[in-house]
Structure formats: C-alpha cells, structure tokens
Amino acid sequence: MQQKKEISKAVISRLPRYYRYLGELMEEGVERISSKELSLLMNVTASQIRQDLNNFGGFGQQGYGYNVKFLYREIAKILGIDRQHNLIIIGAGNLGQAIANYTNFEKRGFLLKGMFDVNPRLVGLEIRGVKIMPVDELEDFLRHNEVQIAALTLPKSKAPAVADRLVSCGIKAIWNFAHIDLQVPDDVVVENVHLSESLMRLSYRATNLQERMQKEKTADR
C-alpha cells in the first residue's frame, strides 16, 4: 500500500488563501487563470503556486492554466470544507459571542450547534438562535449531538480540564483560543489561536519596518 505523502505545514497554511482568492475570482466571473496571473494577485511566486498544487496532483494544464471553479472545489475537498462540520463554543464571553456572530463560518460549512458557559447571567441567552447552556450539560449534549469541533474561548486556567472532558467525549478537533498549550492524545488535533502572540509578531514587524525606514532616511541625509 502506497504511503500518503506528508504535506508541509507551510503548504497547508497557504491553501485557505488560495481558496479565498479563487472564490473572489469566481465572483468576478473568471473561468481560468495561469499561475503567473494568480501569483500577481497573491504576491506568491508562480513557481511556489505550482509546487504547492503539485503536492495534490497539480490541477493545471500547460498553456491553459487552472480552471478556477474546478480548483476551488478541489481545494475545498483537500481542506475538508466540502462537507458540514458541527461546532460548539465553550466560553460565551465577548470572544465566544464574536465567533458565534461571524456568519461567514456557515458559508464554509462550519455550523454552530451549541454554546456553553459557567456564568449564570449568560446561561439562557441566545446568540443567533443558539441558546447558551451551562457547562455542566456538556457531556450530555455531546452524547446526543454529532459534534466534530470544539472552540475554547475561556480562561487558560479552565482550558486543560475542559479539553480533557472533550477528549473523553470523543472530540478529535479543538480550536483553542485559550493562552495555553493543551496536552492532548496523538489522535486529537489542536489549532491554537493565541491573539496576543499574533499581536506581538505584528509589533515586531512594525518595529523593524520603522527602524529600517529610519535608517534609510538617515542614509539619505
């Protein structure tokens, strides 16, 4: 049996961006595009685009380029967003509610099925038709509903225990907004979204840009 090729994280991280640009091209009525044309839009080299897509079979034809609709659908299959994923959110504060209110997730196949919180002032409220439930009801809800993804938007002190509860209920995918690295079994995947780290990376880039521009100004004097 042929072993499935291991795809690098860098390639996988670019796929959602390809998907977004292809979706915009479809909305504009573009039927086909070359790797060179796509590279100009995305600020990625044509060679990089071809290398990335060749990991999955290429999809292009020499002298023709890529069929935009076909490539869009194929990348959706690769990303697994050609099917519905049921999602719950644990932590119904400002961040949890913001995620629940982001309707674009539904267009990508992510359907919010439940929200949970420990705050009695939040329990019973509805966010876009989804009622916030007490976190004590988590296990019972998961037993009676098919859920693939759990988003954690709660304090880091609470996240490990909740993650353990999710794993024990069979959840295999955790979208972690808590500022802590979760310890989970190998058959559970975690996507960490650490907002403060993202902001610090932006700060680093902005600081370096300012320093470089200042040096250029000094050199021109």
Instruction: Tell me how far apart the alpha carbons of residues 164 and 10 are, in angstroms, rounded to a whole number.
Output: 29
Bridge-based pairing state of the strands 149-152 and 85-90: parallel
Structure tokens at 81: 């967003």
Which of the pair, 65 or 125, is modelled with greater confidence? 125
In this structure, is residue 201 part of a structural domain? no
Per-residue pLDDT, 93: 95
Check the CA dihedral 57-20-107-151 and report its sign. Answer: positive
Which CATH number do you get for residue 114?
3.40.50.720
Domain termination residue (choose one: 43, 60, 79): 79
Q: Where are the alpha helices (DSSP H) in 119-178?
A: 138-144, 159-168
Domain membership of residue 152 (yes or no) is: yes
Asked if residue 204 is part of any domain, the answer here is: no
Q: What proportion of the chain, given as a percentage, has pLDDT over 90?
A: 67
Please write the tens of the pLDDT for every residue from 136-171.
Answer: 999 999 999 999 999 999 999 999 999 999 999 999
Q: Which of 1-10, 116-125, 194-203 is the least confident region?
A: 1-10
Residues 72 and 90 in one domain: no
Whether 189 has a pLDDT exceeding 60, the answer reads: yes
Structural domain containing residue 73:
9-79
| Angstrom distances, CA of residue 148 to CA of 80, 136, 161, 190 | 12, 19, 19, 12
Provide the domain count of the chain: 2
User: Would 143 be classed as within a structural domain?
Assistant: yes
Name the pTM for this structure.
0.81
pLDDT at 1: 39
**Which of these three, 64, 79, 94, is where a domain ends?**
79
| Residue 104 shares a structural domain with residue 180 | yes
Query: Is 191 in the same domain as 89?
Result: yes
Do both 143 and 128 map to the same domain?
Answer: yes
63, 91: one domain: no
**Are both 131 and 39 inside the same structural domain?**
no
Select from 45, 79, 113 the last residue of a domain. 79
Q: Is residue 123 part of a domain?
A: yes
Considering only residues 215 and 155, tell me which one the structure prediction assigns the higher pLDDT: 155
Same domain, 68 and 123: no
- Look at residue 16 and tell me if it is in a domain: yes
Query: Are residues 56 and 135 both part of a single domain?
Result: no
Rounded mean pLDDT, 62-71: 85
Q: Is residue 217 a part of any domain in this protein?
A: no
Instruction: Evaluate whether residue 184 is within a structural domain.
Output: yes
User: Which CATH number is 45's domain given?
Assistant: 1.10.10.10
Spatial separation of the C-alpha atoms in residues 34 and 21, rounded to whole Å: 13
Shared-domain flag, residues 191 and 92 = yes
At 64, list the tokens: 């023709």
